[in-house]
Amino acid sequence: MILKILPYVSVFLGTLLVTLILTPVVREINRKLGMVDKPDPRRINKVPIPRGGGLALVLGVSLAYAVFLLVTGRNGFYGLPGDLFWKMAVLSWVIAAVGLADDKFSLPPKVKLLGQLVVAFLVWWWADLGFGDLWPNLPWWLDCVLTVFWITGAVNAFNLIDGLDGLASGIAFIATLGMAGGVFFVHDPASTLFYFAFAGGLLGFLRYNYHPASVFLGDCGSMYIGFVLATLPLLSHMPNSFLVSVGVPLLAMGVPIFDTSLAILRRTIRRLIARGDTASGQVMTADTDHLHHRLLRRAGLSQRKAAWTLYGLTAVAVVFGLVAMSLESRAGGLWLGALAIIAVVIFKDATIEMFDAGRLLNRVAHTHDRDSRRRIAVWSVPFYVIFDVLMLGAAYFICVSSMGLPQSEHTLRTFLPVRVVATFAFLVFFGAYRTVWSRAVGSNYLRLLIACVLGSVAGSVFLYYWPSANAVRVNAMTFTYLVVSFSLLVMVRVFRGFVRDLFYALDCSRLRNRKDVSRVLVYGAGLRYKSFRRELVRTTSANERMIVGILDDDVYLKGKYIGGIRIYGTINDAPEVINALNVDAVVIACIVSDEWLKVVKQILAPT
């Protein structure tokens, strides 16, 4: 047993020791070369710290593992051609060199991305590795695209997550052990030797990178880590072993991958918002909204606690993946479940992306350009038509399913079109597509209801005399289809208002903690209040006012909510409400006479 585990222990301790020795040396060299991260508003470090320390990791892993191979006489990757290891070693040094150049000279983002793409392509073309080894029937061009995308994505994922002391190196250490476990249980254990070597190097560097860090990975280290973790699964050469080759690595790198996905989404939206502004809105421009930044801001965690939170999430994902491998037929379900849990945990804090999306949609929907507004008005009609037809079809299937009615190809070709066409015809007749639904009142929805009633009845009359129709089922379908179709059509029309309320709620959450925001109390809960709030929603990007409460002379409204805002009472309650809510201004959103305005001013005067 000792002889069996000795190679794993020796290669782990060897890279650990070499990296422990090299890291302080590289740190001081980089300090003298001026490769130092100085404190600024975007960075978390409070003192200058050398970057580019990942070079010690690259040298430690490469030297220690090369010595191990020479001493033991093994191939680079067990069971694979001997020259493959050296090809992959060269490509890993190239990607590290690109990162080191960025650490020293701050390369343009596009140049750095080009270097990553070239190296990823060489993995597929020169080293002859790719997803085609896992899925033999994959077309060569798709194999190339997937391989390049996978490697480039992993490289950038670890590059972006490296914003907290010890975060990238710690997550990579957990991910490496998890991936080694996956290969160990289903493949020859000797093929995991490099995993242990890489884990030893990561742990050795983590000694200096853990908070308070004395050296940073820099792009050299983070890109090297991403490259290694992306290419190790491709070296498994186990066709159709999805969990080992893709599943466990994807879960192990789940935190960096999801963080990168959010970053791309966020920066793309901001670029669209800032179009025409050359100073902002670049997709590759760094920001302070990564997962670790949010943990530090929202939860008030220290760097260590934030890092351990993300360590724990990575470890849980790895355990899920390893357990899934032992469940055989149910493995895929558990793997998807784990992926869904990670996605929910990470994306549940996507308020920033949702708010930015709201700003973008508001800009599109409320642009003051006349031609743009005309185009929006023209396209809104096809939008309602398409969704109405879809909803009418959905209503039919809901009714059939809930009533347990048998269906065949013949009934679908007959009954479905009749129901949809009959109701749609009455929608057109009653002017459903000439109505501005964002300003709709009760009478508009009454006409919508009448159209649904007549459409459902007309469809039933037609089907009642159809030769193959069942009269009892047709009659039962009439009322059911009426209720379901009307509900779905109303849902389509109120969706815009729901989205507007959601964006306003996100806007309020953004403004709540700002000290320069004016806290507004509104007097009047009628249509003028809705117009005032709509105006605030339209100007979310430059808004500095937030409604904190409502007053209304209708005493029966006290304690109720309109659009998520509470009605605190009548104007006579204003002094107490103003003091309790720390109100800065009162907005009158109702019709008042001159005499009553004087009374209102007298009531508000003491506050």
Mean pLDDT (whole number) for 493-519:
69
Reply yes or no: is the peptide bond before residue 212 cis, omega within 30 of 0.
Answer: yes
- Max mean pLDDT among 145-159, 369-383, 533-547 falls in 145-159
Q: Which of 174, 175, 145, 172 has its CA nearest to residue 158?
A: 172
Q: How far apart are the first and last CA of the chain?
A: 82
For residue 111, what pLDDT band results from cuts at 50, 70 and 90? very high
For residue 601, what pLDDT band results from cuts at 50, 70 and 90? confident
State percent of the chain over pLDDT 90.
30
State percent of the chain over pLDDT 70.
77
Angle at alpha carbon of residue 82, lines to 80 and 83, rounded to 5°: 115
What pLDDT, in 10s, does the model give residues 381-422? 677 788 889 999 999 999 888 888 777 776 777 788 888 999
* pLDDT, position 519: 85
* pLDDT, position 330: 47
Length of the chain: 607
Angle at alpha carbon of residue 606, lines to 604 and 607, rounded to 5°: 70
Q: What value does the mean pLDDT of the chain take?
A: 81
What pLDDT, in 10s, does the model give residues 139-184? 889 899 999 999 999 999 999 899 889 999 999 999 999 889 888 8
Mean pLDDT (whole number) for 304-332:
77
* pLDDT, position 240: 45
- How far apart CA 347 and CA 402 sit, in angstroms, is 34
For residue 28, what pLDDT band results from cuts at 50, 70 and 90? very high
Element (H, E) at 94: helix 82-105
* pLDDT, position 415: 83
Mean pLDDT (whole number) for 242-254:
74
* pLDDT, position 196: 94
Element (H, E) at 49: strand 49-50
- Max mean pLDDT among 279-288, 455-464, 528-537 falls in 455-464
Whether 46 has a pLDDT exceeding 50, the answer reads: yes
* pLDDT, position 380: 61
Mean pLDDT (whole number) for 565-574:
89
User: pTM for this structure?
Assistant: 0.63
E strand segments, 452-598: 518-523, 545-551, 561-562, 565-569, 585-588
* pLDDT, position 187: 65
Q: What is the DSSP letter of 244?
A: I
Whether 480 has a pLDDT exceeding 50, the answer reads: yes
Mean pLDDT (whole number) for 306-316:
89
* pLDDT, position 360: 59
3-state SS, residue 284:
coil
* pLDDT, position 278: 41
Lowest mean pLDDT among 293-307, 413-427, 467-481: 467-481
Q: Which residues make Cβ contacts (< 8 Å) with residue 418, sequence separation at least 6?
A: 459, 462, 463
Pairing of the two strands 561-562 and 585-588: unpaired
What pLDDT, in 10s, does the model give residues 175-218? 999 889 888 877 667 788 999 999 999 999 999 999 899 999 99
Q: Token pair of 456, please?
A: 């459902």
3-state SS, residue 569:
strand
For residue 286, what pLDDT band results from cuts at 50, 70 and 90? low
* pLDDT, position 344: 59
Sheet with strand 585-588: strands edge to edge? 561-562, 565-569, 545-551, 518-523, 585-588
User: How far is CA 384 from its chain centroid?
Assistant: 29
Q: Which residues make Cβ contacts (< 8 Å) with residue 92, sequence separation at least 6?
A: 58, 62, 224, 227, 228, 231
Maximum Cα interatomic distance, the chain, rounded to a whole number of Å: 100
* pLDDT, position 280: 45
Mean pLDDT (whole number) for 283-298:
72
Q: Which of 155, 294, 169 has its CA nearest to residue 223?
A: 155
What pLDDT, in 10s, does the model give residues 52-110? 999 999 999 999 999 999 898 887 776 677 788 889 999 999 999 999 999 999 999 99
For residue 284, what pLDDT band results from cuts at 50, 70 and 90? low
Angle at alpha carbon of residue 203, lines to 198 and 209, rounded to 5°: 120
List, in sequence order, the alpha helices (H) in 430-470: 442-464
* pLDDT, position 406: 76
- How far apart CA 575 and CA 434 sit, in angstroms, is 46
Phi (first) and psi of residue 585, to 5 degrees: -155, 150
3-state SS, residue 545:
strand
